[in-house]
């Protein structure tokens, strides 16, 4: 039966059960990722964010929440230019974070992690 | 035929060596592309052959490039290579003259002093005895220096020397033993048969005064032959493979075969031509500033050669090119490094379809600031001021934010992704109908020059400003400020632009020299080539470089790369300015006089 509306999918994130594989992989291979304070300086300076809704801050949030599929789509927009790294007040090695996230995704697809 | 069983280790070793070297050479040459093969064939019958032979003489025997790094180190290598070469040549001449056209085993000249006791019968005996002794002494000095170098490398200007693995050590120690054993064998033989010259004869008599020369000399010839055999057999599996491979490399290079982007057979030859001399280790700032002694080309190429490349070694490199600049073999080190990065890289997309297909502005000149310049906005403001003053009809292509040039992706080995960005930018540039492309970022410059194939002139802003000044379209106020100019890696070693920025600054300022300039310039530490360095490590590098550059306390530290400026600014007590900012500041207000 159609009511002309649908029920929104549950957006609750259970931090005890979410997919921590990417986050753990990145934390291990690029520890500076832990120091991110989500200030958004990276988003402000991002070359890609100038044209689309991509930003490093968003990526790191998705990674921490364990939203692997969203990360996979979002990260394709990064040009790896490195402006975010220069703007980061915490010295997060953002370019390596992006590279490590991609490696983690590849490993997940190969069932290595 | 003259023969004694002790020649067997030498002869067998030599045969094994020749077989393996020819097998390896054959494999590499077979794998060259057909174009490269035809270059090789053509080269063998052209005057380039003589150029190649000349270079082999200068670099493989005299080691001119090592002399330039350090004369003592150069002498050590020259005495071993050139001295040994002359020993072989003169020894052969000596025995050929002596025995006429008779066929001799390859061992005959090597062990001549064992086989020939009636020296009077040898033509020009005195001359040969003297020259062979002299050459042996020459080589021996090299051996002594080589052993000394392992103990105290600082004497040779090397702060660190290559750490060797078992195979290399085995070859190294057998090499060390060869000439002392030859010296002992010849000395004791000459004590017994009175055949020695000033060196072997004198030592022989001295040794014979307390050693039973006639009883032991035969065993020393055995030992000498064994040392030679061991060295020959271990040579193809150790770093000494560089000796034959470098010759092949020099020939190929002179015949026009060059490194390509991909890791191919030529790169394989380059890898095998690395002697692991360790000159790169001292030039690497990851070593000098951060004490990282694992990733330098000497070690990286060893990993490549034995197919054990670790991701960290491939990635942890600034790509500053200092090692390449000083490599005595002239290996394309950055090229190999990036090629190996591709093996680890994940190309996660091949299109950036969100990039706008915006209006293209028709103009004569395109100005492209680049991502890094957008983070140092004073540079782009300076450039727009300069372009306006010079009344250039230009289009500021990335005024509203930049699309990356693709170089950072390429440096990480992600070529497919970079190609998508290249296509986007190229379309816009060509649609604008511009005749000249000017960029403020040396990192972009290199890629626009080498990968875009634009068909129009590509210039760095320092070159373009110099042209504007020369054409009298830009007038500048004279200043008496002392300036140290820092050569950015990508602009200097990367694109060979050393003189234009200096010429421009010298027109209205006082440019003073610094130890670390031009080819010897240091990397600011900001390099996009390295994704492994932490923020703190980059700061350490930047601080050390700033201290070196400002050692004479200049008024200004000038650079021509936004990333260098960014790295230096907060580390330096001296004001850091991009060359464009200095020029923009020197543009006089219309009322001012005293201009160049």
Residue B327 has pLDDT above 70, yes or no: yes
Measured in degrees and rounded to the nearest 5, phi and psi for residue A104 equal -65, -45
Tell whether B272 is covered by a domain.
no
Among A51, A80, A91, select the one facing B409 at the smallest CB separation.
A80
Tell whether B565 is covered by a domain.
yes
* Cβ-defined contact of A80 to B412 (cutoff 8 Å): yes
The mean pLDDT of chain B is 92
* Cβ-defined contact of B354 to A48 (cutoff 8 Å): yes
Q: In B, which residues are within 8 Å of A103 by CB distance?
A: 346
Residue B595 has pLDDT above 70, yes or no: no
Q: Does B234 lie in the same domain as B199?
A: yes
| Alpha-carbon gap, residue B56 to B59, rounded angstroms | 5
* Cβ-defined contact of A83 to B352 (cutoff 8 Å): no
**Smallest CA–CA distance from A41 into chain B, residue:** B375
Whether the CB of A50 is below 8 Å from some CB of chain B: the reply is yes
Q: Does B215 lie in the same domain as B109?
A: yes
Among B354, B531, B533, select the one facing A77 at the smallest CB separation.
B354
Task: Specify whether the CB–CB gap between A84 and A56 falls below 8 A.
Answer: yes
Q: Does B463 lie in the same domain as B479?
A: no
Tell whether B231 is covered by a domain.
yes
Of how many residues is chain A composed? Answer: 113
Whether the CB of A83 is below 8 Å from some CB of chain B: the reply is yes
Residue B250 has pLDDT above 90, yes or no: yes
Residue B593 has pLDDT above 60, yes or no: no
- Residue B36 CA to its chain's centroid (Å): 22
Q: Does B303 lie in the same domain as B171?
A: no
Task: Specify whether the CB–CB gap between B455 and B566 falls below 8 A.
Answer: no
Closest residue by Cα to residue B332 from B300, B355, B286: B300
Please give the model's pTM, rounded to 2 decimal places. 0.92
**Smallest CA–CA distance from B358 into chain A, residue:** A51
Whether the CB of A107 is below 8 Å from some CB of chain B: the reply is no
Alpha carbon of A107: minimum distance to chain B alpha carbons (Å): 11
Q: In A, which residues are within 8 Å of B534 by CB distance?
A: 32, 91, 93
Q: What separation in angstroms does the CA of B238 have from each of B174, B292, B360?
A: 12, 24, 58
Q: Which of B347-351, B364-368, B508-512 has the lowest mean pLDDT?
A: B347-351
* Cβ-defined contact of A83 to B375 (cutoff 8 Å): yes
Closest residue by Cα to residue B283 from B311, B250, B241, B323: B323
Alpha carbon of B166: minimum distance to chain A alpha carbons (Å): 31
Among B372, B400, B421, select the one facing A79 at the smallest CB separation.
B421
Q: In A, which residues are within 8 Å of B375 by CB distance?
A: 45, 83, 86-87
Whether the CB of B26 is below 8 Å from some CB of chain A: the reply is no
Q: Does B409 lie in the same domain as B327?
A: no
* Cβ-defined contact of A47 to B348 (cutoff 8 Å): no
Q: Does B86 lie in the same domain as B31?
A: yes
Q: What is the 3-state secondary structure (H, E, C) of chain A?
A: CCCCCCCCCCCCCCCCCCCCHHHHHHHHHCHHHHHCCCCCHHHHHCCHHHCCCCCHHHHHHHHHHCCHHHHHHHHHHCCCCCHHHHHCCCCCCHHHHHHHHHHHHHHHHCCCC
Token pair of B31 as six digits:
């794998």
| Boundary-marking domain end, from B433, B467, B501 | B467
Tell whether B162 is covered by a domain.
yes
Q: Does B34 lie in the same domain as B89?
A: yes
- CATH for A21-109 is 1.10.1060.10
| Alpha-carbon gap, residue B317 to B531, rounded angstroms | 8
Q: In B, which residues are within 8 Å of A112 by CB distance?
A: none
Closest residue by Cα to residue B383 from B583, B561, B586, B559: B583
Sheet with B365-368, edge to edge strand ranges: B394-396, B365-368, B436-439, B457-460
Task: Specify whether the CB–CB gap between B407 and B425 falls below 8 A.
Answer: no
Q: Does B11 lie in the same domain as B29?
A: yes
Q: How confident is the model at residue A91 (pLDDT cuts 50, 70, 90)?
A: very high
Q: How confident is the model at residue A7 (pLDDT cuts 50, 70, 90)?
A: confident
Q: In A, which residues are within 8 Å of B354 by CB distance?
A: 48, 51-52, 54, 77
Kindly report, residue by residue over B91-111, the tens digit of the pLDDT. 988 888 887 766 677 888 888
Residue B156 CB burial class (10 angstroms; 0-12, 13-18, ≥19):
buried
Alpha carbon of A2: minimum distance to chain B alpha carbons (Å): 36
Q: Does B323 lie in the same domain as B236?
A: no
Tell whether B531 is covered by a domain.
yes
* Cβ-defined contact of B371 to A80 (cutoff 8 Å): no
- DSSP lists the bridge partners of residue B482 as B510
Identify the sign of the CA torsion B444, B447, B448, B449: positive
* Cβ-defined contact of A51 to B349 (cutoff 8 Å): no
* Cβ-defined contact of A86 to B372 (cutoff 8 Å): yes
What per-residue confidence (pLDDT) applies to B213? 87
CATH number where B510 lies: 3.40.50
**Smallest CA–CA distance from B370 into chain A, residue:** A81
| Alpha-carbon gap, residue A102 to A99, rounded angstroms | 5
What per-residue confidence (pLDDT) applies to B101? 61
What per-residue confidence (pLDDT) applies to B536? 94
Whether the CB of A89 is below 8 Å from some CB of chain B: the reply is no
Closest residue by Cα to residue B69 from B162, B147, B156, B193: B156
Total of domains in chain B: 4
Kindly report, residue by residue over B458-485, the tens digit of the pLDDT. 999 999 999 999 999 999 999 999 999 9
Closest residue by Cα to residue B270 from B214, B324, B197: B324
Among A32, A75, A105, select the one facing B535 at the smallest CB separation.
A32
Kindly report, residue by residue over B118-172, the tens digit of the pLDDT. 777 777 888 899 999 999 999 999 999 999 998 888 888 888 888 888 889 999 9
| Boundary-marking domain end, from B426, B443, B467 | B467
Closest residue by Cα to residue B586 from B439, B478, B489: B478
Tell whether B261 is covered by a domain.
no
* Cβ-defined contact of B401 to A76 (cutoff 8 Å): no
Residues 6+ apart with CB under 8 A from B31: B264, B265, B268
Q: In B, which residues are within 8 Å of A54 by CB distance?
A: 354
Percent of chain B with pLDDT over 90: 79
Pairing of strands B365-368, B436-439: parallel
List, as ranges, residues 66-125 from B with C-beta within 8 Å of A: none
Whether the CB of B356 is below 8 Å from some CB of chain A: the reply is yes
**Domain containing B501: what range?**
475-586
Residue B596 has pLDDT above 90, yes or no: no
Kindly report, residue by residue over B233-249, the tens digit of the pLDDT. 999 999 999 999 999 99
What per-residue confidence (pLDDT) applies to B110? 87
Whether the CB of A13 is below 8 Å from some CB of chain B: the reply is no
* Cβ-defined contact of A106 to B346 (cutoff 8 Å): yes
Residue B331: its H or E element: none
| Boundary-marking domain end, from B435, B467, B499 | B467
Residue B284 has pLDDT above 70, yes or no: yes
Q: Does B400 lie in the same domain as B325?
A: no
Q: Does B94 lie in the same domain as B67?
A: yes
**Smallest CA–CA distance from A79 into chain B, residue:** B404
Tell whether B333 is covered by a domain.
yes
Q: Does B526 lie in the same domain as B425?
A: no
Kindly report, residue by residue over B417-441, the tens digit of the pLDDT. 999 999 999 999 999 999 999 999 9
């Amino acid at each position: 039966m159609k009511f002309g509306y649908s029920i929104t999918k549950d957006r609750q994130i259970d931090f005890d059960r979410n997919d921590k594989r990417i986050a753990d992989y990145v934390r291990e291979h690029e520890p500076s990722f832990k120091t991110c304070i989500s200030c958004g300086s990276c988003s402000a300076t991002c070359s890609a964010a100038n044209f689309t809704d991509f930003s490093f801050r968003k990526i790191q949030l998705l990674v921490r929440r364990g939203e692997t599929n969203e990360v996979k789509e979002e990260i394709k927009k990064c040009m790896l230019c490195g402006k975010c790294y220069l703007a980061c007040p915490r010295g997060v090695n953002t370019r390596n974070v992006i590279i490590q996230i991609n490696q983690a995704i590849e490993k997940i697809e190969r069932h290595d992690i | 035929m003259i023969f004694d069983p002790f020649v067997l280790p030498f002869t067998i070793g030599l045969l094994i060596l020749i077989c393996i070297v020819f097998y390896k050479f054959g494999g590499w040459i077979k794998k060259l592309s057909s174009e490269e093969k035809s270059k090789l064939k053509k080269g063998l019958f052209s005057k380039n052959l003589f150029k190649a032979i000349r270079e082999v003489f200068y670099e493989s025997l005299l080691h001119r490039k090592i002399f330039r790094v350090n004369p003592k180190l150069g002498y050590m290598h020259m005495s071993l290579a050139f001295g040994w070469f002359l020993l072989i040549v003169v020894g052969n001449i000596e025995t050929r003259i002596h025995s006429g056209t008779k066929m001799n085993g390859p061992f005959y000249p090597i062990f001549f002093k064992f086989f020939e006791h009636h020296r009077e019968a040898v033509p020009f005996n005195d001359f040969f005895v003297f020259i062979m002794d002299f050459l042996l002494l020459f080589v021996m000095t090299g051996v002594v220096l080589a052993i000394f170098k392992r103990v105290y490398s600082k004497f040779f200007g090397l702060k660190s020397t290559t750490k060797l693995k078992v195979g290399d050590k085995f070859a190294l120690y057998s090499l060390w033993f060869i000439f002392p054993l030859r010296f002992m064998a010849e000395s004791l033989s000459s004590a017994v048969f009175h055949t020695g010259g000033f060196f072997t004869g004198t030592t022989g008599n001295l040794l014979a005064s307390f050693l039973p020369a006639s009883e032991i000399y035969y065993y020393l010839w055995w030992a000498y032959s064994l040392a030679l055999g061991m060295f020959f057999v271990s040579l193809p599996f150790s770093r000494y493979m560089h000796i034959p491979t470098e010759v092949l490399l020099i020939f190929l290079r002179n015949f026009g075969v060059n490194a390509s982007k991909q890791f191919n057979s030529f790169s394989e030859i380059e890898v095998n031509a690395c002697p692991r001399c360790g000159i790169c280790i001292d030039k690497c700032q990851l070593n000098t500033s951060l004490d990282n002694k694992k990733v330098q080309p000497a070690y990286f190429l060893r990993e490549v050669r034995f197919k054990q490349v670790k991701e960290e070694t491939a990635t942890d490199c600034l790509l500053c090119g200092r090692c390449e600049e000083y490599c005595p073999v002239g290996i394309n080190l950055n090229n190999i490094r990036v090629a190996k990065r591709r093996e680890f890289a994940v190309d996660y997309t091949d299109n950036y379809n969100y990039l706008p297909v915006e209006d293209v502005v028709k103009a004569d000149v395109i100005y492209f600031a680049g991502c890094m310049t957008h983070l140092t906005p004073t540079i782009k403001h300076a450039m727009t001021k300069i372009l306006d003053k010079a009344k250039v009809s230009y289009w500021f292509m990335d005024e509203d934010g930049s699309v990356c040039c693709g170089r950072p992706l390429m440096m990480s080995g992600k070529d497919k992704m970079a190609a998508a960005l290249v296509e986007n930018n190229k379309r816009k540039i060509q649609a604008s109908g511009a005749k000249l492309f000017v960029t403020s970022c040396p990192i972009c410059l290199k890629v626009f020059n080498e990968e875009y194939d634009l068909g129009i002139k590509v210039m760095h802003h320092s070159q373009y400003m110099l042209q504007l000044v020369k054409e009298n379209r830009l007038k500048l106020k004279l200043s008496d400020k002392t300036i140290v100019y820092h050569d950015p890696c990508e602009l200097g070693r990367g694109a060979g632009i050393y003189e234009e920025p200096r010429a421009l600054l010298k027109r209205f300022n006082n440019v003073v020299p610094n130890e670390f300039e031009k080819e010897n310039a240091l990397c600011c530490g900001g390099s996009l080539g390295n994704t492994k360095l932490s923020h703190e490590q980059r700061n350490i590098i930047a601080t050390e470089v700033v201290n070196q550059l400002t050692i004479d306390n200049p008024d200004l530290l000038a650079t021509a790369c936004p990333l260098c400026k960014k790295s230096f600014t907060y580390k330096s007590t001296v004001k850091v300015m991009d060359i464009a900012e200095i020029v923009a500041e020197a543009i006089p207000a219309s009322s001012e006089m005293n201009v160049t």
